[in-house]
Amino acid sequence: MRQDTREQMVFTGIAGKKVTAEFEDIALSSDGGILLAAEVEKRLGIVRRLAECIPDPRQQGKVVQDLESMLRQRILQIIAGYEDADDCDHLRRDPVFKTAVGRDPQRDPDLASQPSMTRLENAVDRRALLRIGYAFVDQYMDSFSRPPKAVVLDIDPTAVITYGDQQLRLFNAFEDEYCLMPFHVYDGLTGKFITALIRPGKTPTAAEILAILKRLVRRLRQRWPNTRIVVRADGHHTKPDVMDWMEAHDVEFITGLGPNARLDAQFADLIVNARRRWERTCQEVRLYSRGWYAAESWSRARRVVCRVLVSSRGVDTRYIVTSFADTAAPYLYERVYCGRGQAELMIKDHKTDLHSDRCSCHSAAANQFRIFLHSAAYVVLHELRQRFLRGTELAGARFSTIRLRLLKLGTRVEVLRTALRFFFPVSFPLKDVFVRACAALQPLRI
């Protein structure tokens, strides 16, 4: 392939015919499926919620790019795979994105540019961020038609590698990188997003964990006083002060517990028994037991479950500590605790597929706002997948797969005096899925 001075690309000819291509048709877009995501967002109202949290000191009579339009533009671009503000310069005239934001592709002003979007990212202060954080929690609660009997809060920090002088960046020996480690909190039963908070790149302290737990539990109980709240997390969250607080506030928990000599001695018979079974059968052996254990720093003894796995790879002993006093040990470990592995998939959707690890701003506040923008994209795509793609081949797909197969849809736009017409390719493989999702959204439109 070569490119001549007229920007006409020339490809290998076919049957004596010249094959060329040019970037010149402004009525075309590669992201026609964003119209579907925009309909889901309008149903959820997440952009309106966020806009209400951010004060706008500009003279409104002179404003061309209003807050709601800018937020919707940025979130829809993130959904489509354009995670950087720089992409706004290339997409501000795209007819699909202009329509999705609510503008006529021909008559209305272009969408916001990169400088405008960057100014917005750096203008949101901590008070507005706190309001946005609560808005996400309220959005989560509003997604239920009635208070649930129980919610499982999956809490997990994840590394965000930094390559500049970002506030809160620290060197993390485990990651072997300078990074941030924001908390992610999801509903472990539904996969719904609850909140994500930026923090330094180190193991969380009891004070950091309690700071988020206290606010979350208080907000949830204001509307759901009878809902059972369960906290599920790895061993980094097993802090004496955290467990004491949860027990004092009727919050159930199940968290990992690091091994030590006392625990190994307490469950020595189980470990020996598992080894002997392996030696006799050479088949994988998995045994469970439970007991009561109190570290010196704990205020009281708590129930501990031990899981021993012996295989050709050796002996693997794991422990968890929990407030559940009567539930069987195998069920607690395999079904309840190991269920937190789903949170890793949620973080993968958020961080990897939506690129929420692009925290390239200097200030922590600006990077927190960026994480919230990506979180709004998560909320929209999760709703699309769980509700409108249910029963289709994309019902369990990753966000990147939904984007690639459903949203990256070549589109020609025809602007008429009284209508906008979008033409999709007849050969689109997921035509039936797209039509079905649109039909499901139809009764929701006002």
Is 200 in a helix, a strand, or coil?
strand
Q: In the prediction, which pLDDT does 62 show?
A: 86
Token representation of residue 159: 């590394």
Q: Which residue has the tokens 């200097």?
A: 362
How far is CA 114 from each of CA 80, 90, 125, rounded to the nearest angstrom? 17, 9, 20
**Strand order through the sheet with 183-187:** 193-197, 183-187, 150-157, 228-233, 252-257, 314-322, 302-311, 285-293
pTM equals 0.93
In a domain, 235, yes or no: yes
In a domain, 298, yes or no: yes
In one letter, which amino acid is 319? Y
Say if residue 116 is in the same domain as residue 176: no
In a domain, 224, yes or no: yes
In a domain, 60, yes or no: no
Say if residue 209 is in the same domain as residue 81: no
Residue 227: which residues within 8 A CB-CB, separation 6 or more? 147, 148, 149, 150, 151, 220, 221
Contacts within 8 Å (CB) and 24+ apart, 56-61: none
In a domain, 358, yes or no: no
In a domain, 395, yes or no: yes
Q: How many domains does the chain have?
A: 3
Residue 139: which residues within 8 A CB-CB, separation 6 or more? 44, 46, 49, 379
The pLDDT tens digits for 47-58 are: 999 999 999 988
Q: Which residue has the tokens 């928990």?
A: 253
Question: Cα separation of 34 and 261, whole Å?
Answer: 56
In a domain, 193, yes or no: yes
Say if residue 172 is in the same domain as residue 88: no
The pLDDT tens digits for 169-211 are: 999 999 999 999 999 999 999 999 999 999 999 999 999 999 9
Say if residue 204 is in the same domain as residue 342: yes
Mean of pLDDT values over 94-117:
95
Token representation of residue 99: 């329509």
Does pLDDT of 119 surpass 50? yes
In a domain, 360, yes or no: no
pLDDT band for 3, please (50, 70, 90 cuts). very low
How far is CA 424 from each of CA 33, 168, 442, 445, rounded to the nearest angstrom? 9, 46, 19, 22
More confident residue, 426 or 3: 426
Residue 436: which residues within 8 A CB-CB, separation 6 or more? 392
Q: In the prediction, which pLDDT does 5 show?
A: 43
CB-neighbour burial class of residue 432 (10 A; exposed 0-12, middle 13-18, buried 19+): exposed
Mean of pLDDT values over 143-151:
96
Question: Cα separation of 420 and 70, whole Å?
Answer: 22
Mean of pLDDT values over 250-254:
97
Mean of pLDDT values over 34-56:
96
Name the residue range of residue 408's domain: 2-55+65-123+366-444
Q: In the prediction, which pLDDT does 11 show?
A: 87
- How many percent of the chain have pLDDT more than 70? 98
Cα 310–312–314 angle (5° rounding)? 50
Does pLDDT of 273 surpass 60? yes
Mean of pLDDT values over 254-270:
94
Say if residue 163 is in the same domain as residue 36: no
Backbone angles phi, psi at 282, to 5 degrees: 55, 25
H/E element holding 252?
A: strand 252-257
**Strand order through the sheet with 177-180:** 160-161, 177-180, 170-172
Say if residue 241 is in the same domain as residue 328: yes
The pLDDT tens digits for 331-360 are: 999 999 999 989 999 999 999 999 999 888
Of 45, 262, 232, 59, give the one whose Cα is nearest residue 150: 232
Question: Cα separation of 349 and 334, whole Å?
Answer: 23
Looking up residue 333, the CATH number of its domain turns out to be 3.30.420
Query: pLDDT averaged over the chain?
Result: 93
Q: In the prediction, which pLDDT does 60 show?
A: 87
Mean of pLDDT values over 142-164:
95
Beta bridge partners of 285: 310
Of 188, 198, 241, give the one whose Cα is nearest residue 374: 198
Q: In the prediction, which pLDDT does 444 show?
A: 53
pLDDT band for 445, please (50, 70, 90 cuts). low
Is 180 in a helix, a strand, or coil?
strand
Question: What letter does residue 408 receive in the DSSP assignment?
Answer: -
Say if residue 145 is in the same domain as residue 195: yes
Say if residue 379 is in the same domain as residue 435: yes
Question: Cα separation of 329 and 336, whole Å?
Answer: 10
Does pLDDT of 45 surpass 70? yes
Q: In the prediction, which pLDDT does 4 show?
A: 41
Say if residue 171 is in the same domain as residue 277: no
